[in-house]
Amino acid sequence: MRRMGRREKLLQTMRGNPTSVRYDEIENLLCQAGCQVTRRGSHRTFRHHAVKGYLLTIVDQYPMKAPYVRAALKLYEEIEEAMGDDSPEQR
């Protein structure tokens, strides 16, 4: 049986208990996937070149609101689909 990596654990947590996810975990996940982040006050905007027209703006706070976590998860999945690879951090 394969051990679950850190990324897989985070994705599982994001799906099952989104309010326990911290902002820095979301930022690390999306930045490893190749997102660029823009900071403006407490708001962070993420974008990726492979997913045109999709911007994700979230507030740097704890606990994270579930809609922000679900939107980050959706962006991550869109990036994986657009890149056609299961491991975006290896790009």
The domains of the chain are located at 22-83
Spans in the chain with pLDDT lower than 50: 86, 88-91
> Residues 6 or more apart from 37 whose CB is under 8 A from it?
27, 30, 31, 44, 45, 46
CA dist 74 and 40 (Å) reads: 22
> Residues 6 or more apart from 35 whose CB is under 8 A from it?
46, 47, 48, 75, 79
pLDDT value at residue 12:
92
DSSP H/E element including 26:
helix 23-32
What's the predicted TM-score (pTM) here?
A: 0.82
The highest-level CATH class for domain 22-83 is alpha beta
pLDDT value at residue 76:
94
User: Tokens 């991550």, residue?
Assistant: 76
